Chain A
Amino acid sequence: MFDLNEEVFGKAIVDNKASILRICRAYAIPPLETQDLFQDVVCQIWKSLANFKGKSELSTWIYRVTLNVCYRAHHTAKPKQQRTIQLDSILYEPIAPESTHEDIRYTMLRECISVLEDIDRSIIMLQLEGLPYKTIAEITGLTANNVAVRVKRIKPKLLECILTKQAKENDDEQ
C-alpha cells in the first residue's frame, strides 16, 4: 500500500524517465556511466521529494535535481567500487543504435556539449529538451533574459563545433 509521497515518487520517475535518461547520457563520459547517474538521480529524488515545495512544476524540479546530481558526479567522479548504494530494481539494457551514423551523430553532440561551461551546458540541454526560457531560468537560477542571451551565444558555438566534427568525419572517410 502506497502513501501519497510514494505514489508521487513513482509517477514522477515514470513520467520523467526519458528526460532524466537523456541528461544522464549526455554527462556519461567515462568514467561516468549512464546507469549509475540515473540511479543517483532516482536516489536523490527519493531523498528530497519531501523538500519539494510545489513552487514550480514537479518536472521542473526534477530537471533541477537531475542537473545538480550530474554536475556533482562530473566534478567529483567516484570509482564504481566506492558507490554507497546500488539499486537492483532498476534494470538497464543497452539497445543497439539504429545506425552507426546515428551513434556517431550523438557522440559528436555529446562531445560538443561537454566542452561548454557548466552553466551553458545545462542551458543548452534544457533548450534541447524544449523548455521555455522562463522554465530554464527557474531551473538554473538565472533570469529569463540572461538565458535568452546565453542561448543566442551558445547555439552557434554548438553548431559550429558539430559541423567541424562532421566535416572532419567526412574527410576521414574519403
Chain B
Amino acid sequence: MCVGLVAPATVFSSDKNVDKQALIHLVKNDCGSCHGLLLNGGLGPSLLKKDLQHKSDKYLFNIIKFGRMKRAMPSWKEQLSDQEIGWIIKYLKSNNE
C-alpha cells in the first residue's frame, strides 16, 4: 500500500463519469460481502458514517485503491477509477441509510 500517496483533490469534488447507482450497488453487495449489506461490518470493519468520520479521505482512498497487505482487503485499482473511489468515500461519509 502506498501510504504517502495523495489523491488529487478533484477525485473528491467531481462526480463526472460516475455511475452512482452502480457504485451504490457495488458498495452494498460486493464490498458488503465483507463489510455487510448494511455496511455495519463483518469480516471487514464497519463502513457506517459514524465509524468513518475520524478517518481521512486520503487514508480511505489509499486503502480502497491499494488494499491492505496481509489482510483481506483487496486492491480495487483494477476495478475502480480514482474518481469512483473518491465518490464512494463521499457516499460512505454522508450515507444516512
A-B interaction: no
Residues on B lying within 8 angstroms of A by beta carbon are: none
Residues on A lying within 8 angstroms of B by beta carbon are: none
